[in-house]
Amino acid sequence: MIETMSREDMQKLQSHRLKRIVEHAYHNSTFYRRKMQEMDVTPDDIQSIDDIVKLPFTVKQDLRDNYPFGLMASPMSEIVRLHASSGTTGKPIVVGYTRKDLSVWAEVVARCLYAYGATKNDIAQVSYGYGLFTGGLGAHSGVEAIGGTVIPMSSGNTEKQIQLMHDFGANILCCTPSYDALFLAETIHASDIPLEEFKLRIGAFGAEPWTDNMRRELEEKLNIKAYDIYGLTEICGPGVGGECECQNGTHLWEDHFFPEIVDPVTLKPVAPGEQGELVFTTLTKEGMPMLRYRTRDLTSLHYEKCRCGRTAVRMSRILGRSDDMLIIRGVNVFPSQVESVILELPEFEPHYFIVVDRVNNTDTFQVQVELRSEYYSDEMNKMLALKKKIAGRMQSVIGIQPEIKIVEPRSIERSMGKAKHVQDNRKLY
């Protein structure tokens, strides 16, 4: 089994695959050929996995600048699926998969499920959203790959979620930990169906950072074992790694996604076990290979063999991000999106402050804005209409609606240099 390969054999496989993928990227992607030429590197310079440090980094902005298909390294006739993730500018980032890429994706999700102890006898309710978001279809294909039965539920409609979970006897629940899983758990407890009538035993939770406290809470409330699943759209989606029964780190499937940890400032690799920014090189992806993609996720990697027998490297919980992206109820929110909406509306000063918290296990999202004095009104209706206008606009740009708090002009702190726009009280990290 590839997950128990010796480190030496793994490095041989990685070296072989790196050489092939660099050649593929160099010859089939103008973007990567140009980047490599700028650094004076050719595929011949890449002889082993250690040579990876000679390669250029890739960042999210590169995907935006080449929107929509500029980073594809296979002709569109070979691309069989597109997914997209929201971005700061309103333009999403787009990724493309060949048939082989989809089968690798299904396989890595299957490895996660297998590591959780799932088998073909299990019934999995996939409550990640289906659509452009990678969560739903990603988890879906993994369940099919292990031969399990999939309930393609998608997110939302909690009452129905619970009814089908009960009636179909789902054993596995795949969804985000904070919003979906906790909300489902609470709704089950508030319903008249006793928990004992549910057959759930495994939770596959991810798409956002979560803590061990949250794990304990979910395990208790749903009477399950809760496991992490990690991934990002740029690399394939969920399934880049998953926890095993030992629950002591997320195994990364490093025969397909080669991980590095670099210092986010100097971009130099750090020593094994040290914290830094996670960087991935896709070793087998055809449609849209990524060389040294900077995830902005901060974590550390551990190479000691796990008690489960797997040698695949383990990643600590994500500690935070080196950029300013917030994940609120599973949705990626950038302060710059909030800013862009405020700047569109003449009624408001270009100052804002975001307060994020977690109340009763649900993220709260408040945006404080300053109304220009000439728009002030004693009429309640007018003020409510203004709030509604800005909240509605934010919903359409960001994807979730904040609570708007109108504050006195000049009451939001002004600062020199980089303004502090966010107060995150959730203590996720």
Enumerate binding residues for ligand ADP (CB under 6 A).
Answer: 85, 133-135, 206-209, 228-233, 295, 297, 318, 321, 332
Stretch that binds Zn ion, among 25-33, 104-112, 303-311, 354-362 (CB under 5 A): 303-311
Question: With binding defined as CB under 5 A, does residue 22 bind Zn ion?
Answer: no
Stretch that binds Zn ion, among 301-309, 315-323, 336-344, 345-353 (CB under 5 A): 301-309
| Beta carbon nearer to ligand ADP, 295 or 311 | 295
DSSP secondary structure of 343-372: HH-TTEEEEEEEEEEEETTEEEEEEEEEEP
Question: With binding defined as CB under 5 A, does residue 252 bind Zn ion?
Answer: no
Contact 188, 197 (CB under 8 A): no
Q: Is 220 exposed, middle or buried (0-12, 13-18, 19+ CB in 10 A)?
A: exposed
**Least CB distance to ligand ADP at residue 135 (A):** 5
How do strand 331-333 and strand 326-328 relate by DSSP bridges?
A: antiparallel
**Least CB distance to Zn ion at residue 273 (A):** 17
| Beta carbon nearer to ligand ADP, 228 or 254 | 228
Stretch that binds Zn ion, among 178-186, 215-223, 257-265, 298-306 (CB under 5 A): 298-306
| Beta carbon nearer to Zn ion, 156 or 273 | 273
**Least CB distance to ligand ADP at residue 235 (A):** 8
The token duo for 235 is: 């690399």
**Least CB distance to ligand ADP at residue 145 (A):** 19
Residues 6+ apart with CB under 8 A from 155: 127, 128, 129, 136, 175, 180
Q: Which of 310, 329, 351, 358 binds Zn ion (CB under 5 A)?
A: 310
* Alpha-carbon span 96 to 82, nearest angstrom: 5
Q: Which does 332 bind (CB under 5 to 8 A by kind): Zn ion, ligand ADP, none?
A: ligand ADP
Q: Which does 135 bind (CB under 5 to 8 A by kind): ligand ADP, Zn ion, none?
A: ligand ADP
Upstream peptide bond of 75 is cis (omega within 30 degrees of 0):
no
Alpha helices in 51-123, H assignment, sequence order: 60-65, 99-115
Question: With binding defined as CB under 5 A, does residue 244 bind Zn ion?
Answer: yes
Number of residues that bind Zn ion (CB under 5 A): 5
Q: Which of 13, 41, 132, 246 binds Zn ion (CB under 5 A)?
A: 246
Contact 127, 174 (CB under 8 A): yes
Q: Is 70 exposed, middle or buried (0-12, 13-18, 19+ CB in 10 A)?
A: middle
**Least CB distance to ligand ADP at residue 295 (A):** 5
Pick the closest to residue 123 from 57, 191, 173, 56 (CA basis).
Answer: 173
- Within 13 Å and on the Cβ side, how many CA atoms surround 74? 22
Site residues, Zn ion (CB under 5 A)? 244, 246, 306, 308, 310
